[in-house]
Structure 1
Amino acid sequence: MVSQVTQEPAKGSDRPELDLDAYFRRIGYTGDRTPTLEALREIQRLHTATIPFENLNPLLGIPVLLDLGSLQQKMVQNGRGGYCFEQNQLLSHVLKALGFRVRGLAARILWNVPDGVVKAISHKLLNVQVGDAWYLADVGFGGLSPTGPIKLELNAVQKTPHEPFRLIERNEELHLQANVKDEWRSLYCFTLREHQSPDYEMFSWYLCHHPDSYFLNNLAVARSTADRRYGLRNTVFTTHHLGGESEQRELTSVAEIRAVLEEVFQITLPDHSSLDLKLQRLIDEAAAAQ
């Protein structure tokens, strides 16, 4: 069992600004508003099915704002999604409002990273207490966001509505792994050290401004439903069927990408002058690489 540090109940001056009713309407949650494992499971499942992972703001040069008002305006009122710092920051506010104890953690990405390569800390996840136990909640890891909470327990295979997950320990760090096509693959590594809002502001600013940031130069979108996961990487649209095969399709026009973003990922696209130009650039780059 992983040891855990206790925490005083969160006290945030911006808690009264949270429109919990609007958030629950957005994700379709009608369950109990109490800090139970059942509530956490259902909120996490519905959040990942409703609020897509997407990086349109960095791609278009629009600032990513992490204050509660901006998060609600973008992801609740405006029908948008966001990346990890936005997604898990909003979820943190929601869970605290329900009475959960929540600590913010930070991770280094391991997914598709070659052995021996060390990446900067660039991912936010949540540590949530339910009764006497602690869980991980993460609605912001894109195509492999856990659709259910993961108990802080080493080497135990844990079911979610989608893939099984497990936690292992290596070099004094915890690694979250997913079982993908019968292979355990690491998503990211982290410690239980708590991080604060200014830390995430710095991490997020780096991802939105560093010239080598993936999010500045590529389109990444993901959404999970009951029986599948959808993913879009630039012009490649993928459907992963739960327990089945995956399908890929190359999108070859701006109109086609727009349709997939709106209809499959259910994104209300921003009215931005450079959106079509950015999408066309991705199409041209894909064609040149063939």
Structure 2
Amino acid sequence: MDIDRYLDRIGLRSRPGPNADDIAVLQAAHRLSIGFENLDIPLGRGIRIDAESVFDKLVARGRGGYCFEQNRLYADVLSRLGIPNRTLLARVRLAVPEGITPPRTHACLLAQIDGRSWLADAGFGGSNVPPLPLVDGAQAATTDGAQHRLRLIGEAGSMGGQWMLERAGPPSATDGRAEGHLGWQAQYTFDFSDVALEDLEQANHWTATRPDTRFTALHIASIPLTDGFASMVDRELTVHRAGRTEQRIIADAADYAQTLRDLFRIALTEKEVAGLTLFTPADNR
């Protein structure tokens, strides 16, 4: 972990202290600078989640990644800053019908900050999650106009989850899976069960390879903005900024590569984008 190189990647000039205010700044800078994406899956490259591979991809090569990569990097950063943390596995509840139990395919972090347990998550692609203390009813706001809340909903080890993260705010300031209202909506549920590296490898493998899931069927990128949120699913770009939402269809590989670079902070060449099979030769003329 080259902490100075990481801080340069996310645009922070000084090293954060091990306190809640500084970690909130750190996490926000990470989210604003390292886009969420799954593009190595359609490129046929697979997803590696060891520390060296994640640092090389997200920091050295200027790429983004999804939760298993983002929160592996973030966990290493927090450890380097002297903040104890461990990984948890969560069930994503976005767009999941009642009565369905989704698998544990989201990695988030339990961190010890200022003598308390906190949810720390730099890798949720659905919305912009701020650090939250593990207190029933704890809330925090983000710059996209949303509120975020933790609720204690069950017993330890229960199938439905012990804790639920919820969000209330503009549906268009998400990755498109939110219901069409401003009220509270479930994001994911989790508990404090121990998670081994092998558990993460297994969950990552399922997420990256199971046919007909969101990550194997679609090309996804998202990133919080200083005043909103942007997402791109296949060729459909949605940008919510300052309360206004704009949508457009990406024209060709050059447009896609430039949008990744300029908006999502993801470095992918036009040649690599052509390998995504999103565009026909006619599109790129």
Q: Sort the TM-score into its range (normalised by shorter chain).
A: 0.7 to 0.9
Aligned-pair CA distance for 1:180: 2.0
Unaligned runs of 5+ in 1: 1-17, 285-290
- Contact preservation (8 Å) 1:29, 1:42: no
Residues 1:265 and 2:264 aligned together? yes
Query: Once the 2 structures are TM-superposed, how far is the Cα of residue 67 of structure 1 from its aligned partner?
Result: 1.1
SS at match of 1:57: coil
Q: 1:79 aligns with which of 53, 62, 66?
A: 62
Residues 143, 230 of structure 1: 8 Å contact kept: no
Q: Deviations over 1:55-79 (max 9, x none)?
A: 1111211121111111111010101
Are the aligned partners of 1:143 and 1:223 in contact in 2 as well (CA < 8 Å)? no
- Distance apart, 1:38 and its partner CA: 1.9
Q: What letter corresponds to residue 259 of structure 1 in structure 2? A: Q
- CA distance in 2 between counterparts of 1:151 and 1:235 reads 37
Greater per-residue helix proportion? 1
* 1:219–1:120 Cα change, 3 Å: same
Identity of aligned residues (%): 31
* One-letter code aligned to 1:39: D
* Structure 1 stretches of 4+ moved >6 Å: none
Deviates more, 1:203-212 or 1:266-275: 266-275
CA-CA distance at 1:106 after TM superposition: 0.7
How far, CA to CA, are the matches of 2:276 and 2:165 in structure 1? 37
Report the secondary structure of 2:105's partner residue.
strand
| 1:110 aligns to 2:88 (yes or no) | no
Q: For the structure 1 residues 84 and 277, does the alpha-carbon distance in structure 2 shift closer, same or farther, using more than 3 Å as the test?
A: closer
Contact residue 221 and residue 233 of structure 2 kept, 8 A: yes
CA offset digits 1:212-269 (Å, max 9, x no partner): 2321221111111211211111111111124x13221122433322221122112110
TM-score by length of 1: 0.85
2:140 pairs, out of 142, 146, 158, with: 158
State the one-letter code of the partner of 1:238: T
Q: Sort the Cα spacing of 1:74 and 1:270 in 2 relative to 1 into closer, same or farther, 3 A.
A: farther
TM-score by length of 2: 0.86
Shift of 1:274: 7.1
| Native 8 Å contact 2:43 2:276 kept in 1 | no
Shift of 1:277: 4.8
| Equivalence for 1:98 | 81
Query: Which deviates more, 68-77 or 213-222?
Result: 213-222
* Alpha-carbon RMSD: 2.0
Give the aligned partner of residue 184 of structure 2.
Answer: 184
Q: Secondary structure at the match of 1:178?
A: strand
Q: Is the 8 A contact 1:36 1:130 kept in 2?
A: yes
After superposing the two structures, state which structure 1 stretch, 49-58 or 24-33, moved more: 24-33
CA drift of 1:272 comes to 6.0
- Aligned counterpart, 1:287: none
Mapped partners of 1:266, 1:127: distance in 2: 27
Q: Cα–Cα, structure 1 residues 33 and 258, in superposed 2: closer, same or farther, change >3 Å? A: closer
Say if 1:175 and 1:277 are closer, same or farther in 2 by CA, change over 3 A.
Answer: closer
Q: Tell me, which stretches of 5 or more residues in structure 2 are unaligned?
A: 156-161, 171-181
Aligned twin of 2:236: 236
